[in-house]
């Protein structure tokens, strides 16, 4: 009984112990589970941190690479700016490429450079053409010796290479991988130019393709980027613009020289022609003067004998004969007037007339002329009026010659106006210390096309109304000579059927 009780107590104790241990284990398992979850979280966090670290390292490397490329690009652009300034400061095509020095090529990130111009490009330029030759001219080089340059030139002049280049692209590099002929041409250029990487660009102007520039690196450690392509593309464009500017300057300079030569030749021709005209004018004046003098002598005799006959000093003559003699006198007077006008024009042209220009009272001069011309004015029943300021300043004039101007202009107004017409003489002062004298009439008027010619020698207005009026065509040309000799001007305005106004200026005496 006691043994059974003891066994029972032991069993109960063991059960309790096992139960307690089970409970403890259960709690421990929960803790282990929680720890495992925590460990999983830590592992995931560690993995994430590892990925982030790798990303940071990768980003840092990329940033460093980008920064290096950016620094290289900025440095290249700065060098390119200096190079562009050097190129743009010359207008000599031969000096443009000489500004691309080897040190600048290196600063741009390249070890070697070479440029050629196309001296001739066949019209049938295609990648299939093999027989036509292309001529190249070396413009600049950096990093090459004479033998290498000769080799490059010889191979490039094989038209197939350049034909492929110009047909496919204006800029290309060893980064260009298109397959076909262009990729093959790139391999050939790398080989003949001794370059591991390069950028090449066709230099173009508005006239077409000018040449080719190749810039690259022999070293396999030099990495080529798209930024290098951009720099060479910019340089190529600037070279094209500089060449175009140089050509334009050369064309302008040549045109200027040609124009200057033409101007000099024309000036020389005009000087010779002017001298000839002066000689002709001088001979004409001398001829007119000589002839006029020769005519005056017999004309004086004719007038003298006609006057004697008309006066009856040689006996009575019939009225019919007397009328004829009067016509001789009349025409002799007209001829005398013509000769005198010719002589006066000849003298003024040759400078043989010495004007006595002194202060003159123009009011008194007009009064004297009015009295002189009043008889023919009244004879035609015309009205003559004056429109003068109360006080007129003195003018600088030759009294005799200016009187001739007034007499001629007023005489024309009388001659070319119908009976009972009107003539007005007015004077006004201009701002430039000149008096303007205007002589207006209500005559037949002058057509507009004749106004510019009326001051020419022997020119007469030919209209139905003026055909019967006699004149030599020298009066107005003589008037013009006299006025211009006084440093004045003369002009006319007119309307057919309404009359004309002749105006001239005289300087005021200060």
pLDDT digits (tens, 9 = 90+) for 26-76: 777 777 878 888 887 888 887 788 788 888 878 777 777 667 666 666 766
pLDDT at 293 over 70: no
* Contact by Cβ (8 Å): 420, 382: yes
pLDDT at 290 over 70: no
Give the separation between CA 394 and CA 9, rounded to whole angstroms.
167
* Contact by Cβ (8 Å): 440, 499: yes
What are the sequence ranges of the domains in the chain? 93-224, 358-507
CATH number of this structure's domain 358-507? 3.30.565.10
Give the separation between CA 167 and CA 127, rounded to whole angstroms.
8
- What is the enclosing helix (H) or strand (E) of 294? helix 226-311
Task: Return the number of other C-beta atoms located less than 10 Å from residue 349's C-beta.
Answer: 17
Torsion, Cα of 173, 178, 182, 187 (10° steps):
60
Sign of the torsion angle spanned by Cα atoms 18, 24, 28, 30: positive
- Specify the pLDDT at position 129: 44
∠ CA 214-216-217, rounded to 5°:
155
Sign of the torsion angle spanned by Cα atoms 103, 108, 111, 114: negative
Q: What is the pLDDT of residues 377-402, one digit of tens each?
A: 999 999 999 999 888 999 999 998 89
Q: Which residue has the higher pLDDT, 127 or 391?
A: 391
What single-letter DSSP state applies at residue 127?
Answer: T
Which one of 3.10.105.10, 3.30.450.80, 3.10.20.30, 1.10.3720.10 gives the CATH number of domain 93-224?
Answer: 3.30.450.80
- Specify the pLDDT at position 344: 67
Task: Give CA 44 to chain center in angstroms.
Answer: 78
Give the percent of the chain with pLDDT over 90.
Answer: 19
């Amino acid at each position: 009984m006691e043994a059974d009780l003891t066994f029972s107590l032991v069993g109960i104790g063991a059960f309790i112990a096992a139960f307690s241990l089970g409970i403890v284990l259960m709690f421990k398992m929960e803790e282990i589970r929680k720890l495992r979850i925590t460990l999983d979280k830590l592992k995931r966090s560690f993995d994430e941190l590892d990925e982030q670290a790798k990303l940071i390292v990768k980003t840092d490397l990329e940033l460093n690479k980008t920064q290096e490329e950016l620094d290289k690009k900025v440095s290249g652009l700065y060098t390119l700016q200096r190079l562009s300034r050097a190129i743009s400061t010359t207008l000599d095509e031969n000096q443009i490429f000489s500004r691309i020095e080897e040190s600048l090529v290196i600063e741009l990130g390249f070890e070697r450079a070479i440029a050629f111009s196309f001296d001739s490009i066949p019209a049938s330029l295609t990648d299939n053409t093999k027989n036509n030759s292309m001529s190249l001219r070396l413009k600049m080089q950096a990093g090459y010796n004479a033998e290498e340059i000769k080799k490059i030139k010889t191979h490039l002049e094989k038209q197939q290479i350049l034909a492929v280049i110009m047909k496919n692209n204006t800029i290309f590099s060893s980064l260009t991988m298109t397959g076909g002929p262009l990729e093959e041409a790139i391999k050939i250029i790398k080989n003949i130019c001794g370059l591991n990487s390069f950028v090449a660009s066709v230099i173009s102007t508005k006239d077409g393709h000018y040449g080719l520039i190749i810039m690259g690196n022999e070293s396999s450690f030099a990495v080529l980027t798209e930024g290098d392509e951009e720099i060479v593309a910019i340089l190529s464009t600037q070279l094209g613009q500089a060449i175009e500017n140089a050509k334009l300057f050369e064309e302008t300079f040549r045109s200027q020289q040609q124009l200057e030569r033409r101007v000099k030749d024309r000036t020389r021709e005009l000087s010779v022609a002017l001298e000839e005209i002066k000689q002709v004018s001088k001979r004409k004046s001398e001829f007119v003067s000589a002839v006029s003098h020769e005519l005056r002598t017999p004309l004086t005799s004719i007038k003298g004998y006609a006057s004697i006959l008309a006066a009856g000093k040689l006996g009575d003559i019939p009225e019919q004969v007397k009328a004829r003699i009067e016509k001789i006198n009349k025409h002799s007077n007209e001829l005398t007037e013509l000769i005198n006008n010719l002589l006066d024009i000849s003298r003024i042209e040759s400078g043989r007339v010495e004007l006595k220009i002194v202060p003159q009272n123009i009011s008194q001069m007009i009064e004297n002329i009015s009295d002189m011309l009043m008889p023919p004015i009244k004879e035609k029943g015309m009205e003559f009026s004056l429109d003068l300021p109360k006080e007129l300043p003195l003018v600088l004039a030759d009294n005799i010659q200016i009187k001739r101007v007034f007499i001629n202009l007023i005489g024309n107004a009388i001659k070319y106006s119908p009976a009972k017409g009107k003539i007005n003489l007015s004077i006004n002062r201009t701002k430039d210390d000149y008096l303007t004298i205007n002589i207006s009439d209500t005559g037949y008027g002058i057509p507009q096309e004749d106004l510019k010619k009326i001051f020419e020698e022997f020119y007469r207005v030919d209209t139905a109304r003026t055909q019967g009026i006699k004149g030599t065509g020298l009066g107005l040309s003589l008037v013009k000579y006299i006025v211009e000799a006084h440093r004045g001007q003369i002009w006319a305005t007119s309307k057919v059927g309404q009359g004309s106004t002749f105006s001239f200026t005289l300087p005021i005496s200060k």
